[in-house]
Amino acid sequence: SLLLIFVLSGIFSFSQSNHVFKNEEKWLPENFNPANSTLLIQQFEPGEPKYEKRNEKIGSYMQEKYTYQYALAQTDDIVYKGGKYADKVKYPYALMYRHLYKSAGQGGSYSSYDFYFLERATGEEYPLTSKSSSDPIMTFKPVINTIMEKFKTK
């Protein structure tokens, strides 16, 4: 029984490595082109071990799958008008996460994570993917896969 759970979780985890979302027209900015800019990726706040582990997973997944320019950045560096990422032509978009809390009935609740694009010049927040997960990496990977699939060279 424990082995079955381990095998199934491994299969699910592997499937996320190739999974793409089919609703990108709802959340991917129309003018986004990864070949023409550097995508900023919002990191989870440092200091807590589980957040550090998420940041490591995001970094290694980007290194493995994303063939365009990107930078892992702290929230303050993304929203701050000056500093390291002040150039909004070079860094026009950031992929941000949102921590969601949902009611589970009977007074209970659960939390999940979803991702959205921020257009840095205007401050416009694009819609969430609507594919949230309690493990943000399980949503993050298909977001990146979807971008790679949409912009793959023919």
Tens digit of pLDDT for each residue in 84-99? 999 999 999 999 999 9
Helix locations, 2-135, DSSP H = 2-16, 24-27, 49-65, 75-79
pTM: 0.85
pLDDT at position 24 over 80: yes
Residue 11, SS3? helix
Q: Identity (one letter) of the amino acid at 153?
A: T
Give the pair of three-digit tokens for residue 110.
Answer: 């659960």
In this structure, the number of other CB atoms found within 10 A of the CB of residue 111 comes to 10
From 51-60, 72-81, 103-112, 137-146, the region with the lowest mean pLDDT: 103-112
| 65 pLDDT higher than 50 | yes
Inter-residue long-range contacts of 133-139, CB under 8 Å, 24+ positions, other chains counted: 134/110, 136/44, 136/54, 136/97, 137/16, 137/54, 137/57, 137/58, 137/61, 138/16, 139/113, 139/114, 139/115
| Averaged pLDDT, 55-73 | 96
7 vs 75, higher pLDDT = 75
- 128 Cβ contact partners less than 8 Å away, ≥ 6 residues apart: 27, 98, 114, 115, 116
pLDDT of 112 higher than 50: yes
Interval 7-35 mean pLDDT: 76
